[in-house]
Structure formats: C-alpha cells, structure tokens
Amino acid sequence: MKSINPANGQIIREYHEHTWPETEQIIADVYATWRTWKETSFESRSLLLKNAAQILRDRKDFYARLMTLEMGKLLRESAAEVEKCAWVCDFYASQGEEMLKDELIATDASRSFVTYQPIGPILAVMPWNFPFWQVLRFAAPALMAGNAAVLKHASNVPGCAMAIENLFMEAGFPANLFRTLLVPSAAVEAVIASPLIAAVTLTGSESAGSQVAACAGKYLKKSVLELGGADPFIVLEDADMEAAVKTAVTARMINQGQSCIAAKRFIAVKAAMHEFETAMKAAFAALRTGDPMEPGTQVGPLARPDLVDEIDHQVRVSVAAGARLVIGGNRPERTGCYYEPTILADVTSGMPVYAQETFGPVVTLITAEDEDDAIRIANDSEFGLGGCVWTRDLARGEHVARKVETGAMFVNGMTKSDPRLPFGGVKKSGYGRELGINGIREFVNIKTIWIA
C-alpha cells in the first residue's frame, strides 16, 4: 500500500498490507478489548477523549503536514481540520454522558425508562478528502458511547490512518480499542460479515455506499451512510452580493472542491445572475495555484490523477452539450494532479455538471426564473446533503430552506458540519446522522426497561 504525494507524484512511503489472518486477529483483539471497555465509566472515557484533544492540538503541525503530503490539502486547511478534530473530542467528552443518560418515561409501571448501551466494535469505512475529521467525527461519539472501532481508511492515506490509531493509544485508550486495517476495499464485506463486528458506517461515494449497505443488510448489521452531494447555493435578487460571492468562492474551493458538502450547483435568479457571474469570474481569475505547503497558495492539487481525469471529462462533455466556459477548463502545465479553477455558465439539465457530483474546482452556474424556480432546480437532484440560500430577508431565507430537500440548509452562510448539530443527508446522499445527540445515539442499543 503506497502513500503518494499528489503535488509531485513522489512515493512518500510504502505500508505492509494486512493479510486476512492478521485482519481476523485485529478484529478479535478489538472485540476482546471492547468487552472490558463497555463497562468503563463516562468519566474515564471523557478523560481519555480530552487527552486525545490535547494531543491533536499539541501535534497539530505534524498531523497537518501529514495530511497535506498524502492528499494535497492546503496546509492551513489541514491545520484547521486538526483543530476541528480536537473540538469534536472535547464536545463529546463534555456532553456525551448527558446525551446518553437514562430517560424516565411515564407508563403503567412503577418505573420505566430508556437506556442507551454500547453495541460493540463498529467498522468505519472512511474517505481520503478529510482524512482526520471524517474519522474523528465518528470515533469520538462511538468511543464515548462505550463502543470500539475498526478503521478501514482510503488506500491513499495510510499514514493518516496509522497516525490516528497511534493518537488514541498515546491518549491512554486501551491498545486494541481503536485499530486500523490496512486492507483493500475487496476485504470490506468479509469484515462486515465477522460476527464480532456490530455495525458499519461509511462516508464515501454513492457506489461504495450501495455496496456497503447491501453487505450490512445481508448480515443484518446497522449501517450509517454519508454519501455524495450536489449542494445548491441559491442566490436571490435581494442577496448581499459581496458576501455571497466571497462565501461562494470558499464554499466551492475548500479542499480544492473535494468535499461532499462543498457548494456545487450555483443557482442564481435571472435578476442576480449577471452580477454574480461577473464577480465570480473576477474572484476565480485571482486565485493562485501552487504548492499546498506554501502559505500563499490558494489552489493545490487534487488527491489522485484519476480525479483530474474525471473532473476534466465532466467539464468537456458539459461544454460539448452547450455549457459556456467562463474561465479555466484545462489542466495546467505543471507536475502534479492539478486542474484549473473553472466556471461553467448556462448549465442545464442533462449535462454532467448539472446532475453529477463534481469533485474538483468547478463552479456550475444555473439560472432560475425566480425563487420558486430556484427551489425546483435545487430539488431536481438525486442528492440531498446540504445547501444554502442568500437573501437579505431572513424569513424568506427560512422559507426557502424549509422547501429544499437536503439534510441541512444554511441561510446566508456556507454549509458546514458542526459537532453540536446532526449531519447527514437524504435521497442518494445517504441515511442516518453523525454529530450532535443524534450521532452518538446511532450506534447504541436504545433499550426499554419496565419495572412493575
């Protein structure tokens, strides 16, 4: 298993891939450790999560550099990701016990209540785009709830996967409570099938989610899926255009556009589109492409060569179908997995960039007749993860937010995940929730106890 720097194509390190007997042993060790861990107190779990948060902050530069080397994220974005991981650890360390306390329910019994109990080792199949955050937002609540974890990370970030395993051990968690499996995707079904694995969570593509959901169903295991998105960014005629454009650039270009909740379909009403397009073109023309390690870089490489091929194909086919190329649309002449920041206008239904998830620095401009048409276009998607709407009328913004079919909508702000709020999607963006109280209750036995 090779770790390759997407900025220059150089091999960083090669890792030993676990054999199936080694994988079985790891799973058995995790299960054995969980049998003891589930009896530990919330106080003990909280202390260890706080230790993890402190280590993340103390070693922020190390973890950030590792992320940037393995998948090309801008170094400052990697550092922010580490800080967010520390936040989610602190959040569940302080709130987890309250979220999982027994709930008394008035019935015909002398006493009846609901209790939340851990269910066992959870398999986490995680992606490369946020290699620390995607794992920690699952692991923090799962471990706080008394579960154990087995991580199957993306094959291009094995260094991050092992660093997270070491993080939990350094924080004082039992040695086999959180383990990484360095295995190919083909091994996932066998791991799910293990009687020692209680459930599975996946963040990734629609196709990967479909396969994991099928496996989980086959073996009667609980599953949570956070899949792709084609998030709408709706601009109404009364929007604060300066704020909307500034946020739009960030919402599209964060992580080079390689984010499930990055804004992807920019839907402006006819009265606002010209101003929005003009401002977006100027903003994109000013972006600086370069080495993700350099402080002045605003656009780094995509994570793998095949991702460049895919986004280039989506752009070219859409242009051939009638989309207007405003800026970009090419591979820059430089070493590494780079693609120019690109804007496509006059996008209509049937084009790849209208219907598909675009995982790269490409803005799709879609004109709506009015507010109702913008809502229609926003909902004309197989995905439903996040989205936002821009208007000076907050009541109007709330009305639009309620009408758009997504797991989250933001009014005058970019879509983002927050430990305090549930996160997840509808339609082909998946099911179940992470974060908030809903997230920590996904992988527990919600148990009724009735006493005569």
The structure tokens listed for 394 are 């907050």
Q: Please check whether residue 81 is in contact with residue 157, taking contact to mean a CB–CB distance below 8 angstroms.
A: no
Q: Please check whether residue 268 is in contact with residue 235, taking contact to mean a CB–CB distance below 8 angstroms.
A: yes
Q: Please check whether residue 381 is in contact with residue 349, taking contact to mean a CB–CB distance below 8 angstroms.
A: no
Q: Which residues are catalytic?
A: 226, 260
Q: Please check whether residue 263 is in contact with residue 234, taking contact to mean a CB–CB distance below 8 angstroms.
A: no
Q: How many residues does the chain have?
A: 452
DSSP string, 165-229: HHHHHHTT--TTTEEE----GGGHHHHHHSTT--EEEEES-HHHHHHHHHHHHHTT-EEEEE---
170 phi and psi, to 5 degrees?
Answer: -65, -30
Query: Which residue in 318, 361, 322 sits closest to 342, CA to CA?
Result: 361
Cβ neighbors of 178 (< 8 A, separation 6 or more) are: 30, 139, 143, 148, 149, 150, 151, 164, 165, 168, 169
Query: Which residue in 367, 359, 291, 287 sits closest to 328, CA to CA?
Result: 287
Per DSSP bridges, beta strands 231-235 and 11-14 are: unpaired
Q: Please check whether residue 249 is in contact with residue 225, taking contact to mean a CB–CB distance below 8 angstroms.
A: no
Query: Which residue in 232, 238, 271, 257 sits closest to 383, CA to CA?
Result: 232
